[in-house]
Amino acid sequence: MKLNPSKDFLLVTGGCGYIGSHTTVVLQKAGFQVLILDNLKNSKPKVLSRIQEITGQRPEFVEGDIRDAKGLEALFQKYRVSACLHFAGLKAVGESVEQPLNYYENNVQGSLQLFKAMKEAGVKRLVFSSSATVYGQPKSLPLSESASRQAENPYGQTKLMIEHILEDLCRSDLDWSVMSLRYFNPVGAHPSGMIGEDPLGIPNNLMPYISQVAVGRRKKLQVFGNDYPTSDGTGIRDYIHVMDLAEGHLAALRAAFESTGFQALNLGTGKAASVLELVQAFEQASGVKIDYEIVQRRPGDIAECWADPRLAREKLNWSCQRGLIEMCADSWNWQQKNPQGYD
C-alpha cells in the first residue's frame, strides 16, 4: 500500500495530548489529513483550535475511547484510515503503582481493542508510543535497542506488554508494519507557544515543574537527591525536544510504509544532562532564577539513562536538531504565554 498524504486519514489516538498534538502539527504540515481519537481524560479540546491556528487546518476529531470496540468499528467504517499513530494511554508512574488495574485496562486492554479494530479494517501500519522505561535499570549506557527489557512499575509493564503483543502480531501476519518508538525524556513546546505540555495538578516531571516555578505557580523545585553516582550527584537523563520527537514520528510513519515487521527504535539525543544542568539551561534561556532545594531521592528513580540514537538515525534518516537551551526556551515561551496551560 502506498502512502497517500492528502487522500487517506492518519488516525492519531491521544492526539489532544502533549506529544500527539505536536505530532499532529508536523503531520499536517507535511500534507497529511489527521483524525484524532481522544477521550480528553488528560487533555483539553482547546488544543484543536490551537493546532488549527498553527497549521491552518483543524484536525478531524472524534471524542471517544480506545477501549470502546463499537466506537472503533464505527470510526473505521466512517473514515478511510491508512495508518495509526497510537499515543493514547495513561503515563504517570506513581499513579500506576496505586491504580494498576486502571493502567492495565486503559493501556493494554485499550491497545488490544485498537489493534483488533485495525486488523478488522485492514489497517496494518502502526507507530506506537513506547518508552525508555521498558529498559528498567540500565545495565550499561548508552542504551541500545538490544538491551534487555525489564519494567519496574505497572506503567512500564503496560508498555512492555504492548511491545510483546505487537511482536507476536507481526510474527503472525507478515503484512503488519509496526514502529515502536522508545522515547527518552520529551520536553519543550512548539516554537509558536500555542501548544505545549499542560499537566493536570502538580507536575510529576522535571521540565513542567521548573517552568511552573519560573512563572510563579510553584514556590521552588525539589531536586530529588544529590547523592547519585553522577557528575554533580543529581539524576541524569536524555532530554529530547518534542518537535524533534514529532519529526521522528513522521520519519517512522514513512518507514512503516517501506518495510514490514516489528521495529523498536530509541528516540533520544544520545546526550546526557543532570537535573542541575537543566535548571541552569532554563535560567540561561529564560533569565529567571529557579529556586530549588535538595530533598530525598524519589523512590524508583534510576541514577542515569540516555540513548544510543544510532539505529533510529540509520533506519529513519532522522536525528535530533535542537539542544537543551532551545528546549528550555520553547518550554518557557509556552509557559509564559499560557501560565495556566490551556485554561
Q: In this structure, are residues 162 and 118 in contact, taking their beta carbons and an 8 Å threshold?
A: no
CA distances from 230 to 47, 226, 269, 302 (A): 38, 9, 19, 11
- List the strands of the sheet with 261-267, edge to edge: 60-63, 33-38, 9-13, 81-86, 125-131, 177-183, 261-267
Scanning residues 130 to 159, which ones bind ligand NAD (CB under 6 A)? Answer: 131
Q: In this structure, are residues 264 and 145 in contact, taking their beta carbons and an 8 Å threshold?
A: yes
- Residue 18 touches which of ligand UFG, ligand NAD, none (Cβ within 5-8 Å per kind): ligand NAD
282/94 Cα distance (integer angstroms)? 26
Residue found under cell 510504509: 257
Q: Is beta strand 236-237 parallel, antiparallel or unpaired with respect to 273-274?
A: antiparallel
For the chain, how long is the longest CA-to-CA vector?
56
Scanning residues 160 to 189, which ones bind ligand NAD (CB under 6 A)? Answer: 183, 186
Active-site annotation holds for 103: no
Q: Binding of ligand UFG at residue 53 (CB under 6 A)? A: no
Stretch that binds ligand NAD, among 37-45, 73-81, 216-224, 301-309 (CB under 6 A): 37-45
**Among the listed residues 11, 26, 54, 66, the single contact to ligand NAD using CB under 6 A:** 66
**Distance between alpha carbon 273 and the CA centroid of its chain, in Å?**
19
Q: In this structure, are residues 317 and 180 in contact, taking their beta carbons and an 8 Å threshold?
A: no
Q: Binding of ligand UFG at residue 130 (CB under 6 A)? A: no
SS3 286: helix
Q: Binding of ligand UFG at residue 183 (CB under 6 A)? A: yes
Scanning residues 206 to 245, which ones bind ligand UFG (CB under 6 A)? Answer: 206, 209, 221-224, 235, 237
Residue 296 CB, nearest approach to ligand NAD (Å): 22
Q: Binding of ligand NAD at residue 88 (CB under 6 A)? A: yes
Scanning residues 280 to 299, which ones bind ligand UFG (CB under 6 A)? Answer: 298
In this structure, what are the phi and psi dihedrals at residue 179, rounded to the nearest 5 degrees?
A: -110, 115
Q: Binding of ligand UFG at residue 91 (CB under 6 A)? A: yes
- All cell numbers assigned to 157: 509493564
- Residue 85 touches which of ligand UFG, ligand NAD, none (Cβ within 5-8 Å per kind): none
| Candidates 18, 103, 135, 155; catalytic one | 155
Q: Binding of ligand UFG at residue 336 (CB under 6 A)? A: no
Q: Binding of ligand NAD at residue 208 (CB under 6 A)? A: no
Q: What is the DSSP string of 152-167?
A: -SHHHHHHHHHHHHHH
Tell which phi-psi region holds residue 139, choosing left (phi > 0), alpha (psi between -120 and 50) or beta.
alpha
Stretch that binds ligand NAD, among 9-17, 95-103, 293-301, 322-330 (CB under 6 A): 9-17
Q: Binding of ligand UFG at residue 143 (CB under 6 A)? A: no
Q: Binding of ligand UFG at residue 199 (CB under 6 A)? A: no
Point out which residues bind ligand UFG (CB under 6 A).
Answer: 91, 93, 131-133, 183-185, 204-206, 209, 221-224, 235, 237, 275, 298, 301
Active site residues: 155
Point out which residues bind ligand NAD (CB under 6 A).
Answer: 13-14, 16-20, 38-43, 65-67, 87-91, 106, 110, 129, 131, 183, 186
